[in-house]
């Protein structure tokens, strides 16, 4: 099969356009990576401050990883007082059973086991209905000071303590279930988390001491 000169020119032009377009996309992607990463870090920092009690450290700096058997390692953000004692932790849980997909929830928990606060960091729920898990602050405040021992971890429609939204029960039900699972995780790993928090802190101090 042979091409005449006009076809060859068209093919050459298309090749050049594709090459230039690909180069531009790669350049734009590289150019925006840093600002996007910075914006994500700032959003995470704001969210962590919202779910943790007043603290004296930088939870992002003191973050440590907790190995999970079937998932990627979990990032744990410890909050410490001025004496260096751990007073709470923040971490993200995922509700896989939202109405429109997975819901990611950042939750803060005191060392005594009560929820400090929660914030939904990512979701695909229906605007005006399921997205109340983000917009409805009164509902989010229902989680404050809740623990495994003082609450029934279901929506009221299922006999629990948490409200649901009119016409949208699936979204709050998924969040309540995920936060409950997060508290069960904390109960099962409380001692290990505390050990890892102090171990990570000592390692960080050792590194800083070696660099000074």
Tally the C-alpha atoms within 13 A of residue 27's C-alpha that lie toward its C-beta.
6
pLDDT number for residue 166: 79
> With left for phi above 0 and alpha for psi between -120 and 50, is residue 145 left, alpha or beta?
left
- C-alpha angle 206-210-211 in degrees, rounded to nearest 5: 120
- Give the SS3 label for residue 34: helix
Q: Which residue has the tokens 């995922």?
A: 94
**Per-residue pLDDT tens for 64-78?**
999 987 778 999 999
pLDDT number for residue 147: 98
What is the pLDDT tens value at each position of the chain, 212 positions in all? 555 667 667 777 777 887 787 777 776 666 655 665 556 567 678 899 999 999 999 999 999 999 987 778 999 999 999 999 999 999 999 999 888 889 999 999 999 999 999 999 988 877 776 788 888 999 999 999 999 999 999 999 999 999 998 778 999 999 999 999 999 999 999 999 999 998 876 665 554 555 54
> With left for phi above 0 and alpha for psi between -120 and 50, is residue 131 left, alpha or beta?
alpha
CA dihedral 45, 50, 54, 58 (to 10 degrees): -10
**Per-residue pLDDT tens for 77-116?**
999 999 999 999 999 999 998 888 899 999 999 999 999 9
Q: Which residue has the tokens 């969040």?
A: 175
pLDDT number for residue 40: 58
Cα separation, 154 vs 169, whole angstroms: 11
pLDDT number for residue 1: 52
Please give the order of strands across the beta sheet that includes 103-110.
Answer: 64-66, 74-80, 86-95, 103-110, 115-122
């Amino acid at each position: 099969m042979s091409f005449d000169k006009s076809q060859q020119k068209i093919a050459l032009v298309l090749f050049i356009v594709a090459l230039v377009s690909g180069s531009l996309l790669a350049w734009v992607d590289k150019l925006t990576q840093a600002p996007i990463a910075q914006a994500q870090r700032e959003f995470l920092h704001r969210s962590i401050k919202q779910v943790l009690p007043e603290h004296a450290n930088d939870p992002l700096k003191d973050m440590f990883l907790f190995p999970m058997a079937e998932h990627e390692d979990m990032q744990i953000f410890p909050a410490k007082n001025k004496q260096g004692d751990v007073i709470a932790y923040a971490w993200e849980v995922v509700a896989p059973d939202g109405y429109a997909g997975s819901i990611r929830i950042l939750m803060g928990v005191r060392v005594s086991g009560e929820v400090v606060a929660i914030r939904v960091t990512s979701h695909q729920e229906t605007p005006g209905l399921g997205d109340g898990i983000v917009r409805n602050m009164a509902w989010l405040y229902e989680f404050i000071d809740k623990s495994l021992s003082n609450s029934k971890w279901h929506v009221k429609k299922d006999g629990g303590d948490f409200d649901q939204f009119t016409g949208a029960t699936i979204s709050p039900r998924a969040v309540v279930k995920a936060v409950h699972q997060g508290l069960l995780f904390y109960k099962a790993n409380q001692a290990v988390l505390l050990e890892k928090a102090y171990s990570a802190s000592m390692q960080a101090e050792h590194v800083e001491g070696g660099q000074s």
